[in-house]
């Protein structure tokens, strides 16, 4: 379980194909200084398991399904990724409940300054938009963000300077794929009401 509060970015330093059709992903970050094998880390919002940690880097095994269903298949050497370790019972819950299980990918329609602020417009499939409400939560590449406005085929978010500084958003551009995870509470509510 995660909160969607990105704690660091990491740089992709290796992408090695495996005989099984997956990839061994190696990321460099100060976040890995005290990480143990088997730890769960959200990488662009996708829950991955650490293997072979070193003081400043960690390796993750990506299966074919992960490469297909998330934007991790688009990573290149030098790409920045958002990182968050799993939440502990004593950690403050500052974002929202994020499982690290990506529901779908969206596409950035617009990303850039809009007046004095920064605007992020994302095209999203119906599997995501059905759970969106204005002022509701959405995880975008692991960032817990607030939906500012619903668009005909997606949603709009306004980005504060802090988020721009501590995440991988500086590398993003229109046309990029982003990992999306809809609000867990909305998904459970839908299922419970369907059984009524």
Residue-wise pLDDT for 55-102, tens only, equals: 899 999 999 999 999 999 999 999 999 999 998 887 777 788 899 999
Pairwise CA distance, residues 46 & 48, whole Å: 6
Q: Where do the structural domains in the chain lie, given as residue ranges? A: 8-85, 104-194
Q: Do domains 8-85 and 104-194 have the same CATH topology?
A: yes
Print pLDDT tens along the chain (196 aa). 999 999 999 999 999 999 988 999 999 999 998 889 999 999 999 999 999 888 899 999 999 999 999 999 999 999 999 999 998 887 777 788 899 999 999 999 999 999 989 999 999 999 999 999 999 999 999 999 999 999 999 999 999 999 999 999 999 999 999 999 999 888 888 888 887 6
pLDDT number for residue 196: 62
Instruction: Name, in order, each residue with C-beta under 8 angstroms of 44's C-beta and a sequence gap of 6 or more.
Output: 70, 71, 72, 81, 82, 141, 142, 168, 178, 179
Return the number of other C-beta atoms located less than 10 Å from residue 31's C-beta: 19
81-118 in b/e form (b: 16+ CB < 10 A) is bbbbbebeeeeeeebbbbebebbbbbbbbebeeeeeeb
Architecture of the CATH domain 104-194: Beta Barrel (2.40)
Q: What number does CATH give the domain 8-85?
A: 2.40.30.20
Question: For the whole model, what pTM was predicted?
Answer: 0.94
């Amino acid at each position: 379980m995660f909160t969607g509060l990105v704690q660091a970015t990491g740089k992709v330093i290796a992408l090695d194909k495996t005989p099984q059709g997956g990839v061994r992903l190696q990321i460099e970050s100060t976040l890995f200084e005290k990480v143990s094998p088997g730890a769960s880390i959200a990488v662009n919002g996708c829950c991955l398991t650490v293997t072979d940690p070193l003081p400043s880097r960690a390796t993750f095994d990506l299966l074919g399904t992960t490469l297909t269903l998330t934007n991790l298949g688009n990573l290149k050497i030098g790409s920045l990724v958002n990182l968050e370790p799993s939440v502990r019972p004593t950690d403050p819950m500052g974002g929202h409940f994020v499982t690290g299980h990506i529901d779908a990918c969206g596409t950035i329609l617009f990303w850039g300054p809009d007046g004095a602020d920064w605007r992020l417009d994302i095209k999203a499939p119906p599997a995501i938009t059905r759970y969106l409400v204005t002022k509701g939560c959405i995880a975008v590449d692991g960032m817990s963000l607030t939906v500012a406005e619903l668009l005909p085929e997606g949603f709009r978010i306004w980005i504060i300077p802090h988020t721009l500084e501590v995440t991988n958003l500086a590398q993003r551009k229109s046309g990029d794929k982003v990992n999306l995870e809809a609000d867990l509470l909305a998904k459970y509510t839908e299922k419970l009401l369907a059984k009524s």
